[in-house]
Structure 1
Amino acid sequence: MLLNLNKMNDVKKTFDTINKIVADWDPLGVGETIAEDEYAGYIPEIIQVMKNDQSLFEYLSQILANELGRGFDSTDMKHVEGLKSICDKIIRAYMDI
């Protein structure tokens, strides 16, 4: 039972940590009070695709372009570097949990 509680705590901590990073990023600009709820639905899939930087990068760029309507230009280095920075933050945080 204790093992299951520890695992549940780890899952919640992982979810909360990644959700905070995505909320701080706030690609829609909804603001701090709404952001954590706004992006929470994406966190389980983010956790699933975190096997490598490229998978996470592709998933987040797809979200930006197709679901959030923010567009993502893979030829724009500002877009690419910004998204890589978010991917790095997510992966580093996950490794530290």
Structure 2
Amino acid sequence: MVKKIDDETMENICILAKLTLSEAEKEKAKEEMQRMLDYVEKLNELDTSGVKPLSHLFPSHNIFREDVITSQDNRDALLGNAPEKKDGQFQVPKTIG
């Protein structure tokens, strides 16, 4: 059986979650959390001994393409549009003092 959520547990949850709730809101939250725990307890009653564990609902496969080099070193073409260049690299204004 699932332990009932008491006022002390609810207060700790509010502290950890940094929530400020009125007494009515705490009571409602307590009831909702208890319903969730009861539902999980109900699920624990199911016999899952013959069920294969899943990480995804649908089968997954690698959808990424292979890394293929499609161009050669065209540094000169790339630097052709640079306003300033130095030692084969873009030269930019200094930003850190």
TM-score by length of 1: 0.29
Larger Rg: 2
More helix by share: 1
Report which structure shows greater RCO (CA 8 Å, sep ≥6): 1
TM-score of the pair, normalised by structure 2: 0.29
